[in-house]
Chain A
Amino acid sequence: MIKNAFKRALWVYHINTGGCNGCDIEIIAALTPRYDAERFGIKLVGSPRHADVLLVTGPVTAKMEDKLKRVYEQTPDPKVVIAVGNCGASTGVFHNSYSIRGPIDKIIPVDVYVPGCPPRPEAIIHGIAKAWEKLEGKK
């Protein structure tokens, strides 16, 4: 029973660390009636304290570096981090820019990468499904 506690009850907190907003729109698209993430119990929450999953987008700008760390620390354990989009995984189109401190896995540990610029909503839901497996393994 404990093993399956996170299955189908993941609450997601979304933080943009300086991306172009394309991924964020796709994340919202995953919640629309067409993709309906809520049928898997996935819910977007407003506070990192309520979250199990951090959906991080963007290449982490200098301004966002310590905020990202703080949000990570504010999230109660057990948690997983998903890097959504190419620029989160490798700084993508922002590569070698003067203001970039990323990619995300240089700042906080990342468990799941969802590639794409931006990825499709199905891919994001798939990434969250991978996060379940990770969480069950962590318990």
Chain B
Amino acid sequence: METIMQIVFVPIGIASLGLILSLIFKGIDRRIAARFQARVGPPLVQPFRDIMKLMLKETIVPENCVRWVYESAPIIALVGSLMLLLYIPMGPFNAPLGNFGDLILVLYLFTIPSLAMVAGGFASGNPYATIGAQREMVMMMSYELPLAMLAAATAWKVTSFSIAKISSTVIWSTVGPLGLVGILLLLVVVLSVAPAELVKIPFDAPEAETEIAGGLLVDYSGRNLALFYLSDAVKSFAFASLIVALFFPFKLGTTIWGEFLWFLLKVLIVMIVSVTTVRVAAARLQIDNIAGYYWKPIALVSLAALALIAIDTAVVI
């Protein structure tokens, strides 16, 4: 009986907590972006208002879409992002499914919301959405290699793919000077993959509002749009938590709630550094520039990081 309670209620609790936290973080992100631009910015509850409004709007299903794909894509995207929260430890709280999945699974789960958006975009039958979906696929292919390098390098050092194991060792303390440089490079790589993974400026070519009218999401309205909006917020939160779990698992050594607040603070800092500042400071890149950026400099840097960590491991042991 108890296990059933655990199986059912813990994930539901974590999912709803994650949803609320993600929306608050999205509000903070918008507010800080506005402050960077010398604006007042929307209140922190703005994402909640947007969601509520979208839920009340009419949900239009275009006549010539593939209906079952079109309607199920938003749900798959949201479920995919919520699943992530069950595999990534939130500070002092272990992930409920942490024993059943590892870093590789998490990296693949991160592609599910994007794939759902691609499927939904193609299914909506809108030419703008088709262009957006193609761009999204190109972008996914570009940043997968650096992400795979990240998984390989951390696992090389910690000798395990389990996120719980990785986040319980402070990776910076396991390496010599060479490895330190390697890990710094890895951090640069993962921070520069973050905006693309989350489809934010300068890597928002798939959703470019001013040129392809919202891209993938152009035909989505009402409830379906709200689900994509939620899945985007949750995915941002999950990606920042993953970075924190991999690179900044430092503990304060206070009570469990203190640790939790500390974790939220770290997630916020990661989010501001890798998403908000970049989003405000840069303009949108063309899709071929994006692909070039990930395939050339970032892939090379991640290879160098992997090599440095491998050399470091060979020398230390």
Instruction: Name A residues whose Cβ lies closer than 8 Å to a Cβ of B.
Output: 1-2, 5-9, 11, 33, 36, 38-41, 44-47, 49-50, 52, 74, 76-78
Contact = CB atoms under 8 A, between A and B. Distances in A.
B58 interface: yes
Contact of B221 (A8, A33, A50): A50
Contact of A36 (B39, B208, B212, B225): B39
Given A38-B41, A49-B60, A76-B221, A5 B52 contact: yes
Nearest to A35: B39
Given A5-B52, A8-B46, 6 more contacts: A33-B39, A39-B34, A46-B212, A47-B209, A50-B214, A76-B59
B53 A39 contact: no
B225 A50 contact: yes
Interface in B31-69: 34, 37-43, 46, 49-50, 52-53, 56-60
Contacts of A33: 37-39
A36 B38 CA distance: 9
B218 interface: yes
Interface of B: 30, 34, 37-43, 46, 49-50, 52-53, 56-60, 128, 208-210, 212-214, 217-222, 225
Contact of B58 (A36, A38, A47, A76): A76
Nearest to B50: A9
A46 B221 CA distance: 12
Contacts of A47: 128, 209, 213-214, 217-219
B53 A6 contact: yes
Contacts, number: 84
Nearest to B124: A49
A7 B43 CA distance: 13
A77 B40 contact: no
Nearest to A36: B39
Given A38-B41, A41-B49, A49 B218 contact: yes
B50 A49 contact: no
A70 to B, nearest CB: 13
B237 to A, nearest CB: 21
B40 A50 contact: no
A62 to B, nearest CB: 24
A38 B214 contact: no
A5 to B, nearest CB: 5
- Counting from the closest, the 6 A-B pairs by CB-CB distance are A46-B209, A76-B58, A9-B49, A49-B221, A46-B214, A47-B214
Contacts of A38: 30, 34, 39, 41-42
A18 B44 CA distance: 38
Nearest to B33: A38
A11 B50 CA distance: 9
A47 B211 CA distance: 11
A86 to B, nearest CB: 27
B24 to A, nearest CB: 16
A52 B57 CA distance: 9
